[in-house]
Structure 1
Amino acid sequence: MNRRLLAVGALLATLLAGCGVRPSGVITGGPAPANTISGLRLYLIADGRPALVARGLKPLQQPSEIVDLLAAGPNAAERAAGFTSEVPAGIAPVKLTSEGTGTTVALAADVDGLSVLAVNQIVCTVQAMAGSGPVTLVSSGTRRGPLTCPPLS
């Protein structure tokens, strides 16, 4: 019986060895991406829509500082390149909390009074920092969201 089992096993191994992927030449995936962004990622406004900009590698002390940077607006180099910000000053204090797969951003300013561009700036920037989950903006009982960063072209 052991000989039959060995014979069946050898036959099976031979049959299975014939299946599979045929040899081919080397397939290259092309060059590595050349436009990776390192450092702090903010969304400022360029040509009437949110646009990603990168700032140095200085880490944030608190995640809420990201909204303060948006409210401060573009730096001199970014202004010279045509970037602006719709996020108003005085929007802090800000508190970011994770809830499941999303993030809630509590703002001092009324979220209903924010322009669509300001909301998109905040949502896109928070998503770039915290992950791809939805973002909800809240202030004194008012909610906007959950929201996701709109497709950027």
Structure 2
Amino acid sequence: MTALALGTLVAGVAGCGIRSTEVPVDGGPAPTRASCDAPAAHNGTEVYLVCGSQVESVVRAVDLPPGKDGPVEVANELLLELKSNPAEEEQAAGFRTEVPANLWVTGGAGDSESPVIRLSQGPGQLPVSALVQIICTFARNEVLGNGHSVMLSGPPASPSSTPKTYLCSATVRESPEAASHEPADDENPSGEPVTDETPTGED
């Protein structure tokens, strides 16, 4: 076949509307939506994890060594729970943690009525979801909080060394970014749980 005839044939094929096809690519299974249904548990300690864009509780068995029931010991044990990877059932439901592995409880202050938990980083330096995880886990513990608030501070001689009260409200659990705002001292004079106001302290 001459070069002229071959060129005519190619032109004729191109003019017949024949289109190239793409090779299908297997993108894997479609992503599943997190259920955020905590594994069933009847007894234990509330630990708050991130699911989707919210912070929600799961119940875990947390055992303290005998005689290690002071605020600092309890806070350290709960912080270890927050830093550990969620169990398989929790991960399957969409739970994760954002509490950094290098965060520690370095001490405490105050009295048994109003303990202050001092962290190795200023609360305002933490990711907002991690901060809400800590606030709510500590606040719900009877040794550390009163059911809806807890007092936290950062390292000594740092800008965050002054203790502040942080509230665990529905607002911060649903929108952790709200944890960067501080309410006025008279916004909650009764001490009752806050569920509809911007909730916590700010560093």
TM-score normalized with structure 2 length: 0.50
Q: In structure 1, the residue corresponding to 2:131 is in which secondary structure? A: helix
Higher strand proportion: 1
Partner of 1:146: 165
1:129 aligns with 2:134: no
Q: Which runs of 5+ in 2 are unaligned?
A: 1-39, 66-72, 175-203
Q: 2:105–2:117: 8 Å Cα contact kept in structure 1? A: no
Distance 1:117 1:38, change over 3 A: same
Residue pair 2:50, 2:133 contacting (<8 A) in 1 also:
yes
For residues 145 and 73 of structure 1, the distance between their equivalents in structure 2, rounded to whole angstroms, comes to: 28
4+ aligned runs moved over 6 Å, structure 1: none
Shift of 1:149: 0.3
Distance 2:58 2:169 in 1: 16
Give 1:20's aligned residue.
Answer: none
Distance 2:54 2:163 in 1: 19
Q: Distance in 2 between matches of 1:49 and 1:105?
A: 24
> Residue type of the partner of 2:151?
T
The answer as to 2:89 corresponding to 1:113 is: no
Residues matched between the structures, number: 118
Q: Which runs of 5+ in 1 are unaligned?
A: 1-34
Cα separation, 1, equivalents of 2:83 and 2:151? 18
Q: CA deviation at 1:95?
A: 3.5
Contact 1:44 1:70 in 2 (8 A): yes
Task: Look up the equivalent residue of 2:52 and give its one-letter code.
Answer: D
Contact 2:152–2:164 (CA under 8 A) maintained in structure 1? yes
What residue number does 1:9 align with?
none
The separation in 2 between residues aligned to 1:100 and 1:76, in whole angstroms, is 36
- With a CA cutoff of 8 Å and minimum separation of 6, indicate the structure with the bigger relative contact order: 1
TM-score, scaled to structure 1: 0.64
Q: Which residue of 1 aligns with 2:55?
A: 50
Separation of aligned partners in 2, 1:75 and 1:94:
27
Cα RMSD over matched residues?
2.6
